[in-house]
Amino acid sequence: MSHTSSQPAPATFAPSGPLTGTVRVPGDKSISHRSLMLSALAVGESRVTGLLEGEDVMSTAAAMRAMGAVIIPPDGGGLSPDAGIGGGHAGQGGAGPDRLWTIHGVGVGGLLQPQTALDMGNSGTSTRLLMGLVASHAITATFIGDASLSKRPMGRVIDPLSLMGATFSPAPGGRLPLTMSGIVPAVPLSYRLPVASAQVKSAILLAGLNTPGITEVIEPVPTRDHSERMLRGFGADLSVEVEADGTRIIRLMGEAELKPQTIDVPGDPSSAAFPVVAALITPGSEVRVTNVGMNPTRAGIFNVLVAMGADLTFENEREVGGEPVADIVARHSVLTGIDVPPEVAPSMIDEYPIFFVAAAMAQGVTHAHGLDELRVKESDRLAIMAGGLARLGVHLDEREDAISITGSGGEPLAGGNGEVMIHAELDHRIAMSFAIAGLNTRGGLTIDDMSPVATSFPTFQAMLRDLAG
């Protein structure tokens, strides 16, 4: 399933004039993963539309099937319950709001022993959340992944899940490949997150579902709250207490019974950030992105862009499946450099690569702090973005967990006839960010491999072509 199995797909991005039109981005990746996982644990049939049909979510689907859930894709009428991941995968085009996925769950505590290693491809979210699920089931599972995922730290979930009683044999450094055994009954835990991570929080809560008593996660810095919202939506007994300093205490009553749901997954704000920034920095552009999730724990990028002077309007604001949603209209704008403090980081953590491109085109200097987590994503996003932008002539100062970027004031970046080669490093967000940067260079740039975009935004290049007319 991993894009590493396919041929590299180099592509050149050069100025192509204003971007105009209306686009709908694929479904939210975080909500899509959780829709499949929680539906697979409910008793009965759940129905999901708007699911992101990208490789990361398909890795979750394959793993949940391997542990007993029946997951039927929209065009998968003839699929057997244990059908391989290839069945119905529409990652390269078929995705759409009307495509209905049907999931028959096994019930909390009902996951089965997988017969083969669980291939997580490029997906950190699949790996860490599924480790949480396995931790409180009496099963042993091996997790494998691509070269990027195999470098990422798993100690952050191994530590709390070990306290709950699970046992682990990871590769050196707490990495994949990793074999773990869950335990029944697991021990309920009260855990203060040492790192602002929704994946760690969610792993513990998912482990808590099949654990007797109350599992508690203390979150000093708020991170995306889809797990909390969705666990409640599926009928779990979950409460959130917010202390005076903003610390959140999340308590989940274990041995939960989840009821099947009908879910309409909103568009991914992390994907929407690409056409939005593209429109803001490309002269003459006006782009409407419809149906974008606006959960406040995710919307940091839009707030920061507005504070930089971005002409963004939020229309048709509504609620879809318990999540705020809006259509965003972005028009070319003169952006001004800004200071982005560390506490904003969790609400725009995946958007920093494209944000750095916006900063590179702004007037004046942008400072961003509290970026240590960027170093442990699909690539070291701080180093790779700084290196690539510097090669495009951008003045910047990269520090351990911060960066300062001096913008061009709207002038196109260097580049030239595509000969500046950017390596995507198996990182979809690096590939997409430099693709947008390429539209605002003098002569263009080439990205060695665009295939990683299939993990979160399979229709990215088609969308750009549409917008460029």
Q: Is 229 annotated as a binding residue?
A: no
| Total residues binding ligand PEP (CB under 6 A) | 10
Between residues 34 and 377, which has the closer beta carbon with respect to ligand PEP? Answer: 377
Strand partners, 290: 24
Q: How far is the CB of 201 from ligand S3P (least distance, A)?
A: 8
Q: How far is the CB of 401 from ligand PEP (least distance, A)?
A: 17
Between residues 125 and 451, which has the closer beta carbon with respect to ligand S3P? Answer: 125
237 touches, from ligand S3P, ligand PEP, none (C-beta below 5 to 8 Å by class): none
Q: Determine which one of 146, 350, 427, 449 is catalytic.
A: 350
Q: Is 152 annotated as a binding residue?
A: yes
Point out which residues bind ligand S3P (CB under 6 A).
30, 125, 197-199, 202, 224, 349-350, 373
Q: Is 197 annotated as a binding residue?
A: yes
CA distance 11 to 22: 24
Contact present, 216 and 241 (Cβ < 8 Å) = no
CA distances from 30 to 63, 249, 271, 308, 350 (A): 16, 21, 12, 27, 12
Contact present, 461 and 447 (Cβ < 8 Å) = no
Sign of the torsion angle spanned by Cα atoms 142, 147, 149, 151 = positive
Contact present, 421 and 432 (Cβ < 8 Å) = no
Span near ligand PEP by CB under 6 A; candidates 37-45, 121-129, 220-228, 305-313: 121-129
Residue 124 within binding range of ligand PEP, rule CB under 6 A: yes
CA distance 292 to 346: 18
- Chosen residue from 219, 378, 425, 449 binding ligand PEP by CB under 6 A: 378
197 touches, from ligand PEP, ligand S3P, none (C-beta below 5 to 8 Å by class): ligand S3P
Q: How far is CA 174 from the centre of its chain?
A: 22
Residue 34 within binding range of ligand PEP, rule CB under 6 A: no
AA letter at 52:
L
- Chosen residue from 49, 123, 211, 333 binding ligand PEP by CB under 6 A: 123
Q: How far is the CB of 388 from ligand S3P (least distance, A)?
A: 20
CA distance 383 to 377: 11
Query: Which residues have CB under 8 Å from 137's CB, separation 6+?
Result: 109, 111, 182, 184, 210
Q: Is 350 annotated as a binding residue?
A: yes
Q: How far is the CB of 95 from ligand S3P (least distance, A)?
A: 18
Between residues 134 and 183, which has the closer beta carbon with respect to ligand S3P? Answer: 134
Rg for the chain (alpha carbons), in Å? 21
CA distance 349 to 345: 5
Between residues 34 and 288, which has the closer beta carbon with respect to ligand S3P? Answer: 34
- Chosen residue from 65, 104, 156, 377 binding ligand PEP by CB under 6 A: 377
Q: How far is the CB of 289 from ligand S3P (least distance, A)?
A: 19
CA distances from 92 to 1, 52, 65 (A): 13, 11, 21
Q: Is 151 annotated as a binding residue?
A: no
Beta strands in 175-310 (DSSP E): 175-181, 190-192, 214-219, 238-242, 248-253, 262-264, 286-293
Residue of 147, 352, 128, 322 lying closest to 235 (CA atoms): 322
Q: How far is the CB of 295 from ligand S3P (least distance, A)?
A: 11
CA distance 20 to 279: 8
Between residues 198 and 360, which has the closer beta carbon with respect to ligand S3P? Answer: 198
Contact present, 256 and 207 (Cβ < 8 Å) = no
Count other C-beta atoms under 10 Å from residue 462's C-beta: 12
Annotation marks residue 466 as catalytic: no
Q: Is 201 annotated as a binding residue?
A: no
Q: Is 259 annotated as a binding residue?
A: no
Tell me the residue length of the chain: 469
Give residues 394-433 in contact with ligand PEP (rule: CB under 6 A).
429
User: Residues interacting with ligand PEP, by CB under 6 A?
Assistant: 29, 56, 123-125, 350, 377-378, 429, 456
**Which residue positions form the known binding site?**
29-30, 34, 124, 152, 197, 199, 350, 377, 381, 429
Annotated binding site for 3-phosphoshikimate: which residue ranges?
29-30, 34, 197, 199, 350, 377
Residues contributing to the annotated binding site for phosphoenolpyruvate: 29, 124, 152, 199, 381, 429
| Residue numbers annotated as active site | 350
